[in-house]
Amino acid sequence: DVKVTQSSRYLVKRTGEKVFLECVQDMDHENMFWYRQDPGLGLRLIYFSYDVKMKEKGDIPEGYSVSREKKERFSLILESASTNQTSMYLCASRVRQGNTIYFGEGSWLTVV
Amino acid sequence: AQSVTQLGSHVSVSEGALVLLRCNYSSSVPPYLFWYVQYPNQGLQLLLKYTTGATLVKGINGFEAEFKKSETSFHLTKPSAHMSDAAEYFCAVSRSGGYNKLIFGAGTRLAVHP
């Protein structure tokens, strides 16, 4: 079974803090994704990475950056957290040009 | 550009009743279509997908969906609802081939009452 692990399930951070959300997958997938989920808006793509050290902006990249130094790990970084970044963040992975995306269990981030 | 519209943010059915969750998409190229389910405090799990071939697709937990190109629809159905089906359901579309990003609908929350 594919496993996508998000190490932090629940975080509370202060406005202006730098926040790291970590994601690890164990299936040697080339593609990895970060989505943000908000009520009534579904899932919106923040960034995706199609291979190590490769990244591409999604639909809502403002205020976020990413890092993919190793194939299995994809980090989402909030350089200076703001209250409007309070949300559920979902990491996902997929084999190169495959059609099924596998999701982690999500990280609930609250910025106060 | 691709997009997905899920009709009805909340659907409520009785246990044993038919479940019908509606999804319409727009895509300028042949789409891949997906339904995902999200149980409380969990990530998304793939229910079923359509890529090519048979337009009626069967998934897990007794769900199925039919790709209707003429109607640009991919509605999700289950003949008889169980209490355990209560969850949020997301329809998604991607392009076939290339770096195909997945575009999600806003989701439909299904409630099942006794």
Q: Under a CB-based contact definition with an 8 Å cutoff, are residues A10 and B71 in contact?
A: no
- Given an 8 Å threshold on Cβ–Cβ distance, is B94 in contact with A99? yes
Q: What's the confidence (pLDDT) of residue B99?
A: 60
- Given an 8 Å threshold on Cβ–Cβ distance, is B43 in contact with A106? yes
Distance from CA of B79 to the nearest CA of A (A): 25
| Chain A residues whose beta carbon lies within 8 Å of the beta carbon of residue B101 | 45, 48, 58
* pLDDT above 60: residue B97: no
Residue B3 in tokens: 């997009």
Cα separation, B86 vs B108, in Å, equals: 10
Cα angle for residues B7, B8, B13 (degrees, 5° grid): 125
Q: For chain A (length 112 residues), average pLDDT per consecutive 10?
A: 87 97 94 93 92 92 97 96 97 83 94 97
Q: What's the confidence (pLDDT) of residue B3?
A: 87
Q: What is the pLDDT of residues B83-92, one digit of tens each?
A: 999 999 999 9
List Cβ neighbours of B18 (8 Å cut-off, separation of 6 or more): B77, B78, B79, B80, B81
Q: What is the pLDDT of residues B18-64, one digit of tens each?
A: 999 999 998 877 789 999 999 988 889 999 999 888 899 999 999 99
Q: Under a CB-based contact definition with an 8 Å cutoff, are residues A22 and A8 in contact?
A: yes
